[in-house]
Amino acid sequence: MLTRNAEHERLAVQWSSLESRLHREHNWLKLTRAQRRRFPESRELDDLDDRIEAMSDQNAALLKTLPAIVAVSPFGISGKLTIAIQHTKHEGDEVHALIVSVLRDFSALHGG
């Protein structure tokens, strides 16, 4: 799941960079849909968007199964905490900060 989240983030950054460049160079947001389709990058944006959406759906499904998985090692616990951190970073400062501190404390106890 951590690898999937990293790939999702990479795709989102790629999409954002491409859209920013198109906006800068071609005033992308002011173009009509038909005008945008004339650019080869339009297809690339659509492809990236489709991949991001599919990955988001898959990640959400995997996230629902995570509580039922028993971590049997410090690495497994750290992984689950890291995923919790990633999924709470935009939801609540207090909860996110608490989970970050738990992972830090756990890592300190287990030499990680």
Give the residue-averaged pLDDT of 80-105. Answer: 82
Average of per-residue pLDDT values in the chain: 88
Q: Is the pLDDT of residue 69 over 90?
A: no
Which residue, chain included where needed, has tokens 């300190």? Answer: 108
Higher-scoring residue by pLDDT: 43, 92: 43
Residue 96: strand, helix, or coil = helix
What share of the chain has pLDDT > 90, as a percent?
40
Encoding tokens for residue 82?
Answer: 């890291």
Closest C-alpha among 47, 40, 102 to residue 74: 102
User: Which residues fall within 8 angstroms of residue 66, CB to CB, at 6 or more apart?
Assistant: 1, 80, 83
Say what the pLDDT of residue 76 is: 87
pLDDT in tens, 31-58: 999 999 999 999 999 999 999 999 989 8
Closest C-alpha among 12, 18, 1 to residue 53: 12
Say what the pLDDT of residue 112 is: 59
For the chain, the domains span 1-69, 70-112
Closest C-alpha among 107, 39, 98 to residue 75: 107
- What's the pTM value of the predicted model, to 2 decimals? 0.70
Give the residue-averaged pLDDT of 64-82. Answer: 87
Give the residue-averaged pLDDT of 6-29. Answer: 93
